[in-house]
Chain A
């Protein structure tokens, strides 16, 4: 029995070791706390072993009399975590937070207790948690190792010589040094090739081109085909100029001057004729002839035209087919008298 005067241990009545087998048969340890007679206090026996582990046990019996409180601890093998010296402390907890603790005594747990030092049979909760955590980590480690082994095996089975050399990758055409070794990066492809969303398939191109051709007017298609060199319009087929017209030999005195300004566009001539008359008359069905037009009227049909003088009187004219001359007459089939300087103007358009 260990006797305490209140908190202080006074005597060790008996052995200071405990054991359940062998020569140190001490399966019961008794404690007497003199001066403690509070019946409301609950007691605990705290144990701390050499490796730092702790355990708390509840006394198997608590007896209070006039001398004090007597506690009995029936030692069980699972109460002891490690043989050897261990520390023991009694604690009492009462109402209103009252706590009573004795001083620590050192006892000895004999080897006769069949426990292993290295492995706890009934460790406390903290140890249990650590064990659980450790097992989890161990399992995870085993899993990682398995994956590493698998990857290693894959690598060993791969032909490393087939791996692309990163130095052969190019981002731009200027980086190409050997087109049998170089390969393109995504940037190269993006810079040099159309995105599939922006490009057309060959069927789409065919469809678009056919629609474009069909939608053009005939004239435009003919123009593009250039079916006739003679009808091709370019600057070489345009000419401007002037012509001095000559009155017919027998009518030379009737006019002061006759001229035209012409513009040839392709095979069409536009001529603006201006005639200044001398004073004189023109019979109702008489005509004035002028020759030397700039071009011959090259058609099987004559060309008729209308002119006017500065007095507003109209005249009509004709360019006969295949001719280089024209004639004019009064448009109302009546005789007309010209005043000196009277001007006649005609616009002719004929084919050459």
Chain B
């Protein structure tokens, strides 16, 4: 039985993102969620990016930043 976390980058816009975390267990080939949904939203500002860096792996962080950095570059 393998427990794995599933992260969903939800409602990713230039201004914000809502990150959904879910735990799943694979039992006899069937994926079953363990626990509830854990969600937090972050703004595309200095503190938001800082928070995001702490909570997301590089892969997911970079995905968000791919949208935010473009927006930041445009704004600047």
Contacts and interface: CB of A to CB of B under 8 A. Distances in A.
Partners in one complex: yes
Interface of A: 239-244, 246, 249, 262, 291-296, 322-325, 352
A70 B11 CA distance: 152
Contacts of A293: 40-41
Contact of B39 (A249, A294, A325): A294
The interface centre, meaning the residue of A249, A293, A294 with most chain B CB atoms within 10 A of its CB, is A294
Contact of A295 (B11, B38, B48, B51): B11
A242 B40 CA distance: 9
B56 to A, nearest CB: 13
B53 to A, nearest CB: 14
27 contacts: A239-B37, A240-B36, A240-B37, A241-B36, A241-B37, A241-B39, A242-B38, A242-B39, A262-B39, A291-B47, A292-B51, A294-B39, A294-B40, A294-B41, A295-B18, A295-B39, A295-B41, A296-B11, A296-B16, A296-B18, A296-B41, A296-B43, A324-B40, A324-B42, A324-B48, A325-B43, A352-B11
Nearest to A324: B41
Nearest to B21: A241
Contacts of A325: 43
Interface string B16-31: 1010100000000000
A241 B43 contact: no
A257 B71 CA distance: 33
Given A241-B20, A249-B47, A292 B40 contact: yes
> Among the interface residues A240, A244, A324, A325, which one has the most CB atoms of the partner chain B within 10 A?
A324
B5 interface: no
B15 A322 contact: yes
A243 B15 contact: no
B41 A244 contact: no
A246 B50 CA distance: 13
A241 B37 CA distance: 4
B48 to A, nearest CB: 7
Q: Which 4 A-B pairs have the closest CB atoms?
A: A241-B37, A324-B41, A294-B39, A292-B40
A244 B38 contact: yes
Contacts of A242: 36-39
